[in-house]
Amino acid sequence: MLYKSRIMPRELQIYQYLNLRVKLSGKERKHLFNLQKGYEGELQFDSLTATIRSDCLILNDLLLSNNRNIFQIDTLIILPDTVYLFEVKNFEGDYFYDSDRLYTQVPPNSEVNNPLIQLHRSESLLRQLLHNLGCKLTIQALIVFINPEFTLYQTPINKPFLLPGQINRFLQKVQSTSQKITNEHKTLANQLISLHIQDPPLYIPPSYQYHDLKKGNICRNCGSYEITVKGTKCICKSCGEKELSEDLIMRNVKELMLLFPEMIITTNTIFEWCDKVLPKRTIGRTLKRHMNCKGEHQWRHYEF
Q: What gap in Å lies between CA 100 and CA 111, rounded to an integer?
A: 11
Q: Is 224 among the residues that bind Zn ion (CB under 5 A)? A: yes
Of 33-41, 124-132, 237-245, 262-270, which segment contacts Zn ion by CB under 5 A?
237-245
Q: How far is the CB of 15 from Zn ion (least distance, A)?
A: 20
Q: Is 216 among the residues that bind Zn ion (CB under 5 A)? A: no
Of 19-27, 70-78, 104-112, 214-222, which segment contacts Zn ion by CB under 5 A?
214-222
CA 234 to chain centre: 29
Q: What gap in Å lies between CA 114 and CA 96, rounded to an integer?
A: 11
Q: Bin 180: left if φ > 0, else alpha if -120 < ψ < 50, else beta.
A: beta
Q: Is 239 among the residues that bind Zn ion (CB under 5 A)? A: yes
Q: Is 219 among the residues that bind Zn ion (CB under 5 A)? A: yes
Q: Is 50 among the residues that bind Zn ion (CB under 5 A)? A: no
Of 61-69, 108-116, 234-242, 287-295, which segment contacts Zn ion by CB under 5 A?
234-242
Q: What gap in Å lies between CA 12 and CA 227, rounded to an integer?
A: 25
Q: Is 253 among the residues that bind Zn ion (CB under 5 A)? A: no
Q: Is 189 among the residues that bind Zn ion (CB under 5 A)? A: no
Q: Environment class of residue 75 by beta-carbon count within 10 Å: exposed (0-12), middle (13-18) or buried (19+)?
A: buried
Beta carbons of 28 and 35 less than 8 angstroms apart:
no
Distances (CA, A) of 3 to 43, 166, 195: 15, 25, 14
Q: Is 218 among the residues that bind Zn ion (CB under 5 A)? A: no
Q: What gap in Å lies between CA 215 and CA 34, rounded to an integer?
A: 26
Q: How far is the CB of 234 from Zn ion (least distance, A)?
A: 10
Q: Is 221 among the residues that bind Zn ion (CB under 5 A)? A: yes
132 or 221: CB nearest Zn ion: 221
Q: How far is the CB of 67 from Zn ion (least distance, A)?
A: 49
Which residue among 163, 241, 251, 291 contacts Zn ion (CB under 5 A)?
241
Q: 266: Cβ–Cβ under 8 A, 6 or more apart, which residues?
A: 300, 301, 302
Q: 119: Cβ–Cβ under 8 A, 6 or more apart, which residues?
A: 85, 87, 141, 142, 143, 160
Q: How far is the CB of 235 from Zn ion (least distance, A)?
A: 9
Q: Is 238 among the residues that bind Zn ion (CB under 5 A)? A: yes
Q: Is 227 among the residues that bind Zn ion (CB under 5 A)? A: no
Beta carbons of 216 and 255 less than 8 angstroms apart:
no
Q: How far is the CB of 221 from Zn ion (least distance, A)?
A: 5
Q: Is 222 among the residues that bind Zn ion (CB under 5 A)? A: yes
Contact positions vs Zn ion (CB under 5 A):
219, 221-222, 224, 236, 238-239, 241
